[in-house]
Amino acid sequence: MLENLKAKNSDIKVFSAFSEEYKEFGRIITVSDNMLNEIIDTAEKISVPDSVIYTPENKELENCKISQYIVNNVFGTLPTQIGYCCGHNSFLNATEWHTSSEINIAVTPLILILGHRWDIVNGIIDSSKFKAFYLPKGTVTEVYATTLHYTPCQVTDDGFGCIVALPEGTNTPLDTESKDKLLTAKNKWLLAHTENKAKIKQGAVAGITGENIFIHY
């Protein structure tokens, strides 16, 4: 599948998440098949919508054995939320970052479009700064706090599914309005692509210029 994605996406470089290029953005985490299969089987019971949904916390996922492994070994026993993002998406559309790492588990094969926070200059980043990484089903990765990321992209007509682990409270509504216009939720800073009129209308800052990258498959 990776070679097919490379051939069909000449406007963005597509790499494997297991490549050397990925090491600037995150790392691969190896866990037992039993732990991985348990949480993937649980996540696969969640219906994939035509659009995109994200739930910060899912109790069924949090009850899986790998969730405690993530709490202890990635977040150093800090309170952690295990949620789910799934649906249909092929565009870059926006990018976000946190002051913490994020764990992603690919329930389906998918692509992450990633960039670096240090490439944002005066609130602007060009989409040419981003790279695409292919994650086969079952890939467990830590996406570093310095990495820009957003909604995964599908690589089949069935859409995508991705488990998301973050420090508790991340991506939940702010208690009070922030003077920082990029802070759109707790521990979530966001820039929208200039073509993403819906997100901008909701109050997001337009900060991604260039092509709104579309992943072909």
Q: How confident is the model at residue 98 (pLDDT cuts 50, 70, 90)?
A: very high
- Please state the rounded mean pLDDT for residues 63-86: 97
- Under 8 Å between Cβ of 142 and 29: yes
At residue 139, the pLDDT reads 98
Residues 1-21 pLDDT 10s: 999 999 999 889 999 999 999
Q: Confidence class of residue 104 from pLDDT cuts 50, 70 and 90?
A: very high
Q: Which residues contact 177 (CB under 8 A, 6 or more apart)?
A: none
Instruction: For the chain, give the percent of residues with pLDDT over 90.
Output: 99
Q: What is the pLDDT of residue 78?
A: 97
What domains can you pick out in the chain, each with its CATH number?
Answer: 2-170 (2.60.120.10)
Alpha-carbon span 162 to 119, nearest angstrom? 26
State which amino acid sits at residue 73. N
Residue 148's closest CA among 179, 124, 176, 174? 124
What integer is the mean pLDDT of 82-111? 98
At 11 the pLDDT is: 85
What is the Cα–Cα distance from 143 to 134, expressed in whole angstroms?
A: 13
Using a cut of 0.95, tell me whether the model's pTM lies above it.
yes
- Model pLDDT, residue 85: 98
Tell me the C-alpha distance between 215 and 182, whole Å: 26
**pLDDT score for 180:** 97
Mean pLDDT of the chain: 97
| Position 195 pLDDT exceeds 90 | yes
pLDDT digits (tens, 9 = 90+) for 136-173: 999 999 999 999 999 999 999 999 999 999 999 999 99
